[in-house]
A and B are shown apart, each in its own frame.
Chain A
């Protein structure tokens, strides 16, 4: 099991929190400087804050987009956080017209929060149980009942993503925001060595550290 983790710094993320979390888990932390670093890192963490458009522009400007997409498609050990998860998608209503990595053929939407505040700011439940039966995943029932920390105004609606699990091999877990539990959003996507979280595992106490530990110990392809 590798304990060397490379952080992809966009320059505007809370990378100190990510680094401190990894160090508590016994990792040695380095920072990506080239596309080659992104391709070769035994484990890569992509913390994301800011906006969809700015994040994609930064990746494009640095020439990192292809290396990151290739790594995710091949299942190499990669942790994508918050906006990092969103950029897996084709696009986002936050930045219309900006193409994401396109690994997930879906569009990120503004939270439909009814009367609740936006951004969602705080601890919400990871709930595989809220998925339609076709999407529920026994492997993730481990985390049912874990509270994790979210800070987001946009998210990926889970409804309509059945083929992601059935055909593309992604495991999903969800969260609900607002009173309408029938309208879940994607909280976490996992496939091979890739773990993508809408929430912040690095800020989610023991539950979050446990998830990162699992990711570190999990298989990579």
Chain B
């Protein structure tokens, strides 16, 4: 039986982990390589690194960081943030990413999803969606688009996405629970796996996200701040009857 995945997320800027509340008020939360190793040892099923600023200078820092993380990491690694072209995808795979997350560039040129899926396979192609009040936002949550979240998720799937990383901006950093209505709507309209992101605060939140149709649950500050650990979450889910990797 396929297990439910627990995925810690490292939001990075200039080679350090940062985590904001509702995408603002960034604060430093540590060394990514040390955090990656710790989460792996604790039983993380995958790791996500999101380069949240993704300027040109920062891109080089990210490539170097992904390389360093890969050397210690023996679980899957998804990297996103500012990925605009096939060349960007290749550069990330070359240094150790297994999957690449597309967001703003996919909204600006949806064909990029098809190109990446065709070249590297659907399993490599993650489409990240930042959702607020039912609409898709772009450019790290700065700008609203006309896309309805479920419509865009379906479109992404049709173009070749192998997975949707669905972040609720309303819940991001709030620790008030995942947006289960949003998860239910999106996972009910696509056949590809949906990763729940934004809002995890307590153990029952993880269960609620899975019951709403998420295949995997992602959290950042909750783990970075040590409020809950990955073993806490796995033990809870296992006792609640969910299959998790021991």
Measured CB to CB, the residues of A under 8 A from B are 12, 14, 16-17, 20-21, 23-24, 49-51, 83, 116-125, 147, 149-153, 176-177, 200, 202-206, 208-209
Complex partner residue of A24 from B67, B74, B93, CB under 8 angstroms: B74
Shortest CB distance A45–B (Å): 15
Contacting pair B3 A121 (CB below 8 A): no
Contacting pair B122 A119 (CB below 8 A): yes
When C-beta atoms are compared, the residue in chain B nearest to A24 turns out to be: B74
Shortest CB distance A221–B (Å): 29
A-chain residues with CB within 8 Å of residue B118 when the two chains form the complex: 51
Contacting pair A14 B98 (CB below 8 A): yes
Q: Give A147 to B93 CA distance when docked, in angstroms.
A: 24
Contacting pair A20 B71 (CB below 8 A): yes
Contacting pair B74 A209 (CB below 8 A): yes
Q: Give A72 to B45 CA distance when docked, in angstroms.
A: 32
Contacting pair B192 A204 (CB below 8 A): no
Complex partner residue of A205 from B75, B94, B191, CB under 8 angstroms: B75
Complex partner residue of B5 from A20, A49, A123, CB under 8 angstroms: A123
Q: Determine if B40 is an interface residue (Cβ-Cβ < 8 Å).
A: yes
Q: Give A200 to B96 CA distance when docked, in angstroms.
A: 14
A-B contact count (CB 8 A): 108
Q: Give A171 to B194 CA distance when docked, in angstroms.
A: 35
Q: Give the size range of B's interface with the partner.
A: 35 or more
Identify 5 new A-B residue pairs, CB closer than 8 A, beyond the known A121-B5, A208-B74.
A49-B121, A122-B45, A123-B5, A153-B122, A202-B74
Q: List 20 A-B contacts (CB under 8 A).
A: A16-B95, A50-B120, A116-B2, A117-B191, A117-B194, A119-B122, A119-B162, A121-B5, A121-B193, A121-B215, A121-B216, A122-B3, A153-B122, A200-B76, A202-B74, A203-B75, A204-B74, A205-B40, A205-B75, A208-B74
Contacting pair A123 B74 (CB below 8 A): no
Shortest CB distance B210–A (Å): 12
A-chain residues with CB within 8 Å of residue B226 when the two chains form the complex: none
Contacting pair A151 B123 (CB below 8 A): yes
B-chain residues with CB within 8 Å of residue A205 when the two chains form the complex: 40, 74-75
The interface residues of chain A, by DSSP majority, are classed as mixed
Shortest CB distance A217–B (Å): 18
Q: Give A152 to B221 CA distance when docked, in angstroms.
A: 31
Contacting pair B98 A203 (CB below 8 A): yes
When C-beta atoms are compared, the residue in chain A nearest to B120 turns out to be: A12
Contacting pair A176 B193 (CB below 8 A): no
Shortest CB distance B73–A (Å): 8
B-chain residues with CB within 8 Å of residue A24 when the two chains form the complex: 71, 74
Q: Give A210 to B71 CA distance when docked, in angstroms.
A: 17
Contact A14/B93 with A119-B193, A149-B75 known, Cβ cut-off 8 Å: yes
Shortest CB distance B98–A (Å): 5
A-chain residues with CB within 8 Å of residue B241 when the two chains form the complex: none
Q: Which of A24, A120, A150, A151 has the most CB of B within 10 A?
A: A151
Shortest CB distance A3–B (Å): 18
